[in-house]
């Protein structure tokens, strides 16, 4: 597994304690220091590896990110919502993954009805529908909100958006199976207005040659 935007290492430790080999990356030095302490024993055994460094270096393949291609890239707590150029990031994910690689990422839901009480949502609504995305200022970086169609376009041709899951469904039911959007998102957004976060599952297009192999 490859944990992108790994933060303090909570997810990486969870995965590793269930038998997965985990490579991780984060751009924030303080988060990386916490990660290194929190996962110290697993790093010592080699079950967890941590890549540090600037984001441009990560995209260029100059950051160590594990010993072999990952079968699954995870990205929890919406790191992808802080990335303006997702196309370059998905190209990098393509280079880091095996032929059957997948990406499972949490993102901020642009359709969340709880945001309708804010003026910034109304000021950007036309931009969302017309251009597929917009950004608002954030503490670390501008926070991007994207329509499902924009995620699909940004991930192509490296990955295809397959399914969308509501953030943390409260009980068993159809939401656990997600929404199949592999042939287009259509009106899927109408079933997603009640959650602040979405989980998106992308499947790799193995016919697309990676631009640069993983180190």
Q: What per-residue confidence (pLDDT) applies to 213?
A: 42
Q: What per-residue confidence (pLDDT) applies to 63?
A: 79
pLDDT average per 10 residues of sequence, the chain (215 residues): 97 97 96 98 97 94 85 96 96 95 97 95 96 92 95 97 82 70 90 94 77 45
Distances (CA, A) of 67 to 49, 76, 90, 92: 9, 22, 19, 16
Q: What does the alpha-carbon distance between residue 3 and residue 75 come to, in Å, rounded to a whole number?
A: 6
Residue recorded with tokens 């996962």? 39
Taken in order of first residue, the domains within the chain and their CATH numbers are 1-65 (3.40.50.150), 69-204 (3.40.50.150)
Q: What per-residue confidence (pLDDT) applies to 67?
A: 81
Contact 147/110 with Cβ under 8 angstroms? Answer: yes
Tally of CB atoms within 10 A around 139: 6
Strands 197-204, 97-108: pairing is: antiparallel
Q: What does the alpha-carbon distance between residue 69 and residue 101 come to, in Å, rounded to a whole number?
A: 9
Q: What does the alpha-carbon distance between residue 168 and residue 106 come to, in Å, rounded to a whole number?
A: 11
Cis, peptide link before residue 174, omega less than 30° from 0:
no
């Amino acid at each position: 597994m490859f944990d992108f935007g790994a933060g303090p290492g909570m997810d990486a430790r969870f995965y590793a304690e269930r038998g997965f080999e985990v490579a991780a990356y984060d751009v924030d030095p303080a988060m990386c220091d916490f990660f290194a302490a929190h996962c110290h024993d697993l790093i010592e055994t080699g079950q967890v590896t941590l890549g540090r460094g600037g984001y441009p270096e990560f995209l260029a393949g100059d950051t160590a990110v594990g010993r072999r291609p990952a079968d699954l890239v995870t990205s929890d707590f919406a790191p992808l919502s802080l990335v303006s150029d997702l196309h370059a990031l998905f190209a990098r994910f393509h280079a880091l993954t095996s032929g059957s690689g997948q990406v499972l990422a949490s993102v901020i839901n642009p359709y969340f009805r709880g945001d309708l009480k804010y003026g910034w949502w109304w000021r950007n609504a036309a931009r969302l529908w017309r251009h597929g995305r917009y950004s608002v200022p954030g503490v670390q970086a501008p926070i991007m909100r994207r329509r499902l169609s924009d995620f699909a376009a940004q991930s192509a041709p490296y990955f295809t958006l397959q399914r969308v899951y509501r953030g943390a469904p409260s009980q068993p039911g159809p939401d656990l199976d997600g929404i199949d959007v592999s042939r287009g998102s259509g009106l899927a957004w109408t079933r997603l207005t009640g959650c602040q976060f979405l989980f998106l599952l992308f499947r790799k297009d193995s016919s697309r040659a990676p631009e640069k192999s993983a180190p």
